A and B are shown apart, each in its own frame.
Chain A
Amino acid sequence: MPIDILMPALSPTMEEGKLAKWLKSEGDTVSAGDVIAEIETDKATMEVEAVDEGTLGKILVAEGTDAVKVNEKIAILLAEGEDASAIDAAASAPAAEAAPAKQEAASAPAVASAPTPQAPAPETAEDPEVPAGTSMKSSTVREALRDAMAEEMRRDGDVFVMGEEVAEYQGAYKITQGLLAEFSDKRVIDTPITEHGFAGLGVGAAMAGLRPIVEFMTFNFAMQAMDQIINSAAKTLYMSGGQMGAPIVFRGPNGAAARVGAQHSQDYAAWFAHVPGLKVVQPYSAADAKGLLKAAIRDPNPVIFLENEILYGHSFEIPDMDDFVLPIGKAKIERGGTDVTLVSWGIGMTYAMKAAEELAGMGISAEVVNLRTIRPLDIDTVLASVRKTGRLVTVEEAFPMCSVSSEIAFQVQEKAFDYLDAPIARVTGKDVPMPYAANLEKLALPNVGEVIDAVKAVTYTA
């Protein structure tokens, strides 16, 4: 029986990639461990090694093909004694049947936690921060973050970026791609694996007037640096009676990626938002990412900038402007509506937007507020929407206890109690450490169905 060679997943969040190059030709003998092809993802070029031995019978995806989905059949390997006639039979069988168990296991988490990038819905509201008539271009969140840093580094010689693998490796998630070449190792600095130390070093440099961007490979590792972030960065301005603060950005991916387990899957927005003296930004789209990161770098205060690995590869329309800066502390009505308010931020927005789309088909008009910033919280925009719709559902991936949702619910009941026609509902991650198993992980994260159910509950349409 010929063996199918499938497009491999080379990272927890990879959904597709480019088949850059075949290193073996049809008819070549392949041993297990041989490098047979090169695959490019948006993060890296990786080699594909053969798992089985045999003869490369047929190449199904030509080199140079873009957007090859994970688990798509890319070649057929013939076992000893098999000839080309076996290929036809194999090729006609769908890949899913050839390896059903494997495909299901591999694709499930991607479906659970990585919604396919979507074109902005037609109802998407204009961003009042963008001048009318501005032309738009497509950008991934990854590119937007990189461009924001590059633009600010060109603008201000005191801005530098430091972190693990940010320079020569071009970023663990390729966010700093190309920066080393443009700005040299003076301003793009690989650190040792020493979060507490380099976070503190960055704060000290900021106290001396520089403008550090400190990248955490993930915010899970920022726990090592918590003391310097909270006690040194956030409190010094107050403790010095306003004489000395720390203009610094701590940024990196935050929250769950896919199948990386409990220690690498946590949303820390509520932790940082708890602390006076910090600003906390959690972008959703590429425009959010670019405009807010530029603002964060210019901000004279310490800013926690919470990205999301799954969103890195998502493409959005972004204003084609020389200097696109968004105000920190201002939410955006991402989609207008009248029946219910959905408040979300970061990757939670992907559930909220999809739910709003589906709800529209059910005749329920949902307004989606993209918070953009967690602290300072733009409660006024939320309140204005709630006063209009009378109903509120919050959507986030973080744990429910003492969450950002809890704070929003408190403030809304305090300031718009008389406008509420139903109790506030929240959709959050479940109150459990993130499990590894694909099915459990899917259960632990919120999903579109839960958002729709919550909306039905608050609109009494269940």
Chain B
Amino acid sequence: MAATSKTTSASSKSTSRTRSSAKKAEPAIAEFDKDQELHAYREMLLIRRFEEKAGQLYGMGLIGGFCHLYIGQEAVVVGLQMAKKDGDQMITGYRDHGHMLAMDLDPKGVMAELTGRRGGLSKGKGGSMHMFSKEKHFYGGHGIVGAQVPLGTGLGFANKYRENGNVAMAFFGDGASNQGQVYESFNMAELWKLPVVYVIENNKYGMGTSVARASATTDLSKRGESFGIPGEQVDGMDVRAVSAAGAKALEWCRSGKGPYILEMITYRYRGHSMSDPAKYRSKDEVQKMRTEHDPIEQVRKRLIEKNWASEDDLKGIDKDVRARVAEAAEFAQTDPEPDASELYTDILI
């Protein structure tokens, strides 16, 4: 796991904000050293290549049902992974492959779960939206929009109960941010000062409905105000900004001050799920994000500019990552399906 990021007050490009607000005048950016930049690059690239492969396997009919790709949003989970300490938990919704890879779950196990094979992390019984690893502090993978928010609050409750100094990160989208149980959770978390960072991954669309068409107030970082929960908007396409904001939020929670809200302004390049043609937004909008704000490209440019890596070095990384993904895909296609006897196991302990 990477070292905790240092924070500076360097100004950043305001990548994707649609409104201005005084409090966001100087977003904090973590100054990454070479190792951190390379780590971020490698981790984000793994998610990108993994998801591209998943999309490919889906197209081949090897992955069934739902498959929600994380492409475009990689900086959010990687930045927070770099800010967290060992023992901090993550829990998220159905767009969860990136979180699992960032939490060091085995790509082979994840991909084999996508194809419904016995070597999948849930023995092929969970699918894309349902993978877990207590050992790696990853608590799923939940398919009901918003349900992970009370669950993540419960993880924070357990941390406080045990006084273990850990912080839970509950990820949810702009769509989930309108669910009632989110506010029930906010209330209890602040009331009881639970160590929970609520990470709202605002990718601008809840399935096909834009935030503006679904939300009476669109600055989701303020959704905790009536409970007294501090929040801020973060450039979720810049892994350094995510990391800095994450470090600050985690420290806030760890010091006993209660929950914190981070609204990550991000973007998914693909449709809501594989079956979504994404006709609710223009190709230009997507292309603009890809060319101007791509989270991986940003790191790549800095690595080259600072002479921390050559094109060849980066190609090497890409080759390694592709090899890992290919290995995962190979395993996911050759591993057998679960034994029929597994139908009746794991219902009760």
Q: Which residues of A contact B (CB under 8 A)?
A: 160, 186, 191-192, 194, 196-210, 227-228, 231-232, 236-245, 276-277, 279, 300-301
B188 at the interface (CB under 8 A from A): yes
12 more A-B residue pairs beyond the given contacts A240-B131, A241-B120, with a C-beta to C-beta distance below 8 A: A197-B188, A198-B188, A200-B153, A201-B188, A207-B154, A210-B162, A236-B132, A239-B126, A241-B125, A243-B134, A244-B134, A279-B348
Cβ contacts under 8 Å, B127 to chain A: 239
Cβ contacts under 8 Å, A236 to chain B: 130, 132, 140
Supposing A198-B184, A244-B139 touch, asked if A192 and B347 sit within 8 A by C-beta, the answer is no
Asked whether A240 lies within 8 Å of B150 as measured between CB atoms, the reply is: no
Interface string of B206-225 (1 = CB under 8 A from A): 00000000000000000000
User: Could you tell me the distance between the alpha carbons of A203 and B150 in the complex, rounded to whole angstroms?
Assistant: 8
Asked whether B161 lies within 8 Å of A186 as measured between CB atoms, the reply is: yes
User: Could you tell me the distance between the alpha carbons of A360 and B349 in the complex, rounded to whole angstroms?
Assistant: 43
Cβ-defined partner of B348 (8 Å) among A198, A199, A277: A277
Cβ-defined partner of B347 (8 Å) among A201, A207, A243, A276: A276
User: Could you tell me the distance between the alpha carbons of A200 and B187 in the complex, rounded to whole angstroms?
Assistant: 13
- The tally of CB-CB contacts under 8 A between chains A and B is 144
Residue of B nearest to A193 (CB): B184
Which secondary structure dominates where chain B touches chain A? mixed
B121 at the interface (CB under 8 A from A): yes
Cβ-defined partner of A240 (8 Å) among B140, B180, B184, B187: B140
Shortest Cβ gap from A268 to chain B (Å): 20
Can you show 18 pairs from A to B with CB atoms below 8 A apart? A191-B188, A194-B187, A196-B184, A197-B150, A198-B184, A204-B150, A204-B152, A204-B153, A207-B139, A207-B154, A228-B147, A228-B150, A228-B151, A238-B125, A239-B122, A240-B346, A241-B124, A243-B133
Cβ contacts under 8 Å, B89 to chain A: 208
Supposing A194-B187, A197-B181, A200-B185 touch, asked if A242 and B151 sit within 8 A by C-beta, the answer is no
Shortest Cβ gap from B163 to chain A (Å): 10
Asked whether B184 lies within 8 Å of A192 as measured between CB atoms, the reply is: yes
User: Could you tell me the distance between the alpha carbons of A207 and B181 in the complex, rounded to whole angstroms?
Assistant: 18
B155 at the interface (CB under 8 A from A): yes
Cβ-defined partner of B349 (8 Å) among A192, A197, A201, A237: A237
User: Could you tell me the distance between the alpha carbons of A232 and B89 in the complex, rounded to whole angstroms?
Assistant: 17
Asked whether B157 lies within 8 Å of A277 as measured between CB atoms, the reply is: no
Asked whether B346 lies within 8 Å of A238 as measured between CB atoms, the reply is: yes
Interface string of B109-136 (1 = CB under 8 A from A): 0000000000011111111001111100
Cβ contacts under 8 Å, A241 to chain B: 120-126, 346
Residue count of chain B within 8 Å CB distance of chain A: 47
Asked whether B158 lies within 8 Å of A277 as measured between CB atoms, the reply is: no
Cβ-defined partner of B122 (8 Å) among A197, A200, A243: A243
Cβ-defined partner of A201 (8 Å) among B132, B150, B346: B150
Residue of B nearest to A209 (CB): B158
Residue of B nearest to A231 (CB): B144
Cβ contacts under 8 Å, B345 to chain A: 242
Residue of A nearest to B156 (CB): A204
Asked whether A194 lies within 8 Å of B184 as measured between CB atoms, the reply is: yes
Asked whether B158 lies within 8 Å of A196 as measured between CB atoms, the reply is: no
Asked whether B347 lies within 8 Å of A238 as measured between CB atoms, the reply is: yes
User: Could you tell me the distance between the alpha carbons of A300 and B120 in the complex, rounded to whole angstroms?
Assistant: 24
Asked whether A237 lies within 8 Å of B348 as measured between CB atoms, the reply is: yes
Asked whether A239 lies within 8 Å of B188 as measured between CB atoms, the reply is: no
Asked whether B181 lies within 8 Å of A196 as measured between CB atoms, the reply is: yes
Interface string of B181-213 (1 = CB under 8 A from A): 100110110010000000000000000000000
Cβ contacts under 8 Å, A242 to chain B: 123, 345-346, 349
Shortest Cβ gap from B344 to chain A (Å): 9
Residue of A nearest to B160 (CB): A186
User: Could you tell me the distance between the alpha carbons of A245 and B184 in the complex, rounded to whole angstroms?
Assistant: 23
Asked whether A203 lies within 8 Å of B348 as measured between CB atoms, the reply is: no
Asked whether A232 lies within 8 Å of B184 as measured between CB atoms, the reply is: no
Asked whether A194 lies within 8 Å of B188 as measured between CB atoms, the reply is: yes
Residue of A nearest to B122 (CB): A241
Shortest Cβ gap from A211 to chain B (Å): 11
Asked whether B151 lies within 8 Å of A207 as measured between CB atoms, the reply is: yes
Asked whether B188 lies within 8 Å of A240 as measured between CB atoms, the reply is: no
Asked whether B125 lies within 8 Å of A208 as measured between CB atoms, the reply is: no
Cβ contacts under 8 Å, B347 to chain A: 237-238, 276-277
Cβ contacts under 8 Å, B162 to chain A: 210
B149 at the interface (CB under 8 A from A): yes
Cβ contacts under 8 Å, A198 to chain B: 150, 184, 188
User: Could you tell me the distance between the alpha carbons of A191 and B154 in the complex, rounded to whole angstroms?
Assistant: 13
Asked whether B147 lies within 8 Å of A232 as measured between CB atoms, the reply is: yes
Cβ-defined partner of B153 (8 Å) among A201, A244, A300: A201
Which of A191, A192, A196, A301 has the largest number of chain B CB atoms within 10 A?
A: A196
CB under 8 Å from chain A, chain B span 166-192? 180-181, 184-185, 187-188, 191
Cβ contacts under 8 Å, A237 to chain B: 346-349
Asked whether A240 lies within 8 Å of B157 as measured between CB atoms, the reply is: no
Which of A198, A204, A237 has the largest number of chain B CB atoms within 10 A?
A: A204
Residue of A nearest to B348 (CB): A301
B64 at the interface (CB under 8 A from A): no
Cβ contacts under 8 Å, A196 to chain B: 150, 180-181, 184
B142 at the interface (CB under 8 A from A): yes
Cβ contacts under 8 Å, B132 to chain A: 236, 239-240, 243-244
Asked whether B122 lies within 8 Å of A205 as measured between CB atoms, the reply is: no
Shortest Cβ gap from A459 to chain B (Å): 38
Shortest Cβ gap from B258 to chain A (Å): 14
B228 at the interface (CB under 8 A from A): no
Cβ contacts under 8 Å, A208 to chain B: 89, 139, 154-155, 158-159
B165 at the interface (CB under 8 A from A): no
User: Could you tell me the distance between the alpha carbons of A186 and B143 in the complex, rounded to whole angstroms?
Assistant: 31
Cβ-defined partner of A231 (8 Å) among B91, B143, B346: B143
Cβ contacts under 8 Å, A160 to chain B: 161
User: Could you tell me the distance between the alpha carbons of A208 and B122 in the complex, rounded to whole angstroms?
Assistant: 18
Supposing A192-B188, A227-B144, A277-B347 touch, asked if A204 and B139 sit within 8 A by C-beta, the answer is yes
Which of A197, A202, A205, A277 has the largest number of chain B CB atoms within 10 A?
A: A197
Residue of A nearest to B124 (CB): A241
Cβ-defined partner of B147 (8 Å) among A194, A200, A209, A301: A200
Cβ contacts under 8 Å, B140 to chain A: 236, 239-240, 244
Shortest Cβ gap from B20 to chain A (Å): 33
